[in-house]
Amino acid sequence: MVDQNDDYYSVARRKEVREESKRLRKKFFRYKEAEIVYSIQHKKLLELADKAGALYRIDGYVLINRDIFEAYLEQFRQPRNTKAKAAPKVSRWDKK
């Protein structure tokens, strides 16, 4: 039997681990890493990061501040469309 008070089931412990992981994640991406993480091409990524004010240029290196960039990207999030319905399945083989 598994003890329900185990750290695995502890909500407080899970929140603590989540906060710790946020703290430990990288704060800055190089543009090549950001291209992979966000699946955005180089030119568009630099354009968006520049508009967000998240670019840092240091001795030929280009860094993107992850927190600033993600906050900027959230502006483009579309709300969920609750009225949308799935299209009816129509077989091209069915005769009308």
State pLDDT tens for residues 46-90: 999 999 999 999 999 999 999 999 999 999 888 777 666 667 777
pLDDT 10s digits, 12-38: 888 888 888 777 778 899 989 999 989
pLDDT bucket at 1, cuts 50 / 70 / 90: very low
- Provide the pLDDT for residue 82: 63
pTM for the model:
0.60
Domain boundaries, the chain: 24-76
Which CATH number does 24-76 carry? Answer: 1.10.10.10
- Provide the pLDDT for residue 74: 92
Q: Which helix (H) or strand (E) holds 16?
A: helix 11-24
- Provide the pLDDT for residue 5: 56
Strand partners, 28: 65
Whether 44 has a pLDDT exceeding 90, the answer reads: yes
Q: Which of 82, 76, 17 is nearest to 52 (CA)?
A: 76
Q: Which of 53, 55, 35, 54 is nearest to 44 (CA)?
A: 35
